[in-house]
Amino acid sequence: MLQKSERTLLLVLAAIQFTNIVDFMIMMPMGDILKKELSIGPQQYGFLVSSYGIAAFVTAFAGVFYLDNLDRRKALLTAYFGFMIGTLSSAILPNTSDEELNYMLFILTRVITGLTGGLLGGLVMSIIGDAIPLERRGRAMGVVTISFSLAAILGMPVALTLVDVFDNNWHVPFYGVTLLALPIWLLAFKSIPPMAEHLKNRTHYDRTAAIRWAVKSREQRNALLFTVLLVLGQFTVISFMTPFYINNVGLLQSDIKWIYLVGGAATVVSGFAIGRMVDRIGRFRVFTVAALLSIVPVLVITHLPQVPLWVVLLIAAFFFVLISGRMIPANTIATTVVNPEQRAGFMSLNSAMMSLASGSSGIISGLIISQADENSPLMHFEWVGYLAALSTILSLVVVRILKRIADEKAKAVAAS
């Protein structure tokens, strides 16, 4: 059972992740609107979606060299304030008569947001790793990972409804995220205690230690590869899911919010249960089962013909449950491969690789997919599904290596 102080901390961290995820994910269900409003093709849209992730990779990687020398609380508050500024810049972006200029300015604002928001994921996971004991960490990850579900069940439908109400105005959701983030920042300022325990008794800070340890440590190298494969196995599909649903499956833009509502509701129910399962039967077993099962909806989605909305919603529920279900044990695995004094550096490096993979996903999918014009079906989306399935299978191979290393460490500790 999580303690009261731990629950309060986790709720604040989940709220921060909620706004960060909504800001990043809102680009995807608005994909068809953006492609038409900005007069761009699949490749340009792929770069637009990826701009946040690539920028986030830059700052998350830079954070490897200094985050472990900072109070986690101060670093989180600073990064989150910068995230609000970046999101606001997307909201106030002018809509000129020059479509190419609009496109480039939008990429610029996404880069600004990514440069600041890219630090948040690693800092949140580092704080959880520091504040929550391993025996309760699976449940803690379940609470924070539920922010993904809430982003889907609340954030995305509300944002897309606002887009509908304001006549497909894609600026509106960014105003909403900015207004929501401000009270969350104030709550974080008030409720998160100083997080500097890792700085005590330190006589020297080696800025390159996290990189050197990641290179030398077989466990950390495999953990980073594991992250990349896992993210590629989902965001290559998610990046173009909405344009595919509209142009190939025959859904309307107004239908898209129901996909996120149903998928998010399903993961709210499953998230806490999966977190408890991680603590009871083990992170490796839970991940293996969830990852294997997740391949099925990935392949089904990328091969869908024209079907009724209820069929899409049923498939989406399984997709979101299994995608989020494998991330809970995966995040728990990532926090256990490094010592506390190096955790923020490694988690920032892990977050950097996650951002790089999510950013690359849109570009990779955009290069695979083709489209004759803005209203014609997407071609070769099934190839994206095969790529995502292969990436998931490879992640299962890597997680077996991580389990073997963990077993060896446990035996060594028991022997000593």
Grouping H, G, I as helix, E, B as strand and the rest as coil, residue 7 is: helix
DSSP label at residue 380: S
The pLDDT of residue 120: 85
Q: How far is CA 187 from CA 44, 127, 256, in A?
A: 38, 16, 32
E strand residue ranges, 282-398: none
pLDDT of residue 389 exceeding 90, the answer is yes
- Alpha carbons 330 and 337: distance in angstroms, whole number: 11
Query: Residue 397 above 90 pLDDT?
Result: yes
Q: Average pLDDT of the chain?
A: 83
Query: Using one digit for the tens of pLDDT, what is the confidence trace for 126-172?
Result: 788 777 776 776 777 767 766 766 776 777 788 888 888 887 788 88
Contact criterion met (CB below 8 Å) for 200 and 77: no
Q: What is the CATH number of domain 7-192+205-407?
A: 1.20.1250.20
- Which residue's entry shows tokens 């960490």? 137
In angstroms, what CA-CA distances link 220 with 9, 121, 338?
A: 27, 18, 7
Contacts of 124 (CB under 8 A, 6+ apart): 13, 16, 17, 76, 144
Name all contacts of 317-323 with Cβ < 8 Å and 24+ positions apart. Answer: 317/262, 317/263, 317/265, 317/266, 318/266, 319/263, 319/294, 320/149, 320/152, 320/263, 320/264, 320/266, 320/267, 321/263, 321/266, 321/267, 321/270, 322/290, 322/293, 322/294, 322/297, 323/234, 323/294
| Residue bearing the bigger pLDDT, 349 or 202 | 349
Instruction: Pull the structure tokens for residue 210.
Output: 């996290």
Please report, for the chain, the start and end positions of each structural domain, with discontinuous segments joined by +: 7-192+205-407
- Residues present in the chain in total: 416
Q: And the tokens for 346?
A: 């490694």
Give residue 181's pLDDT: 94
Residue range 25-53, pLDDT digits in tens: 788 788 888 888 888 888 888 888 888 88
| Lowest mean pLDDT, pick from 69-73, 76-80, 323-327 | 69-73
CA 102 to chain centre: 26
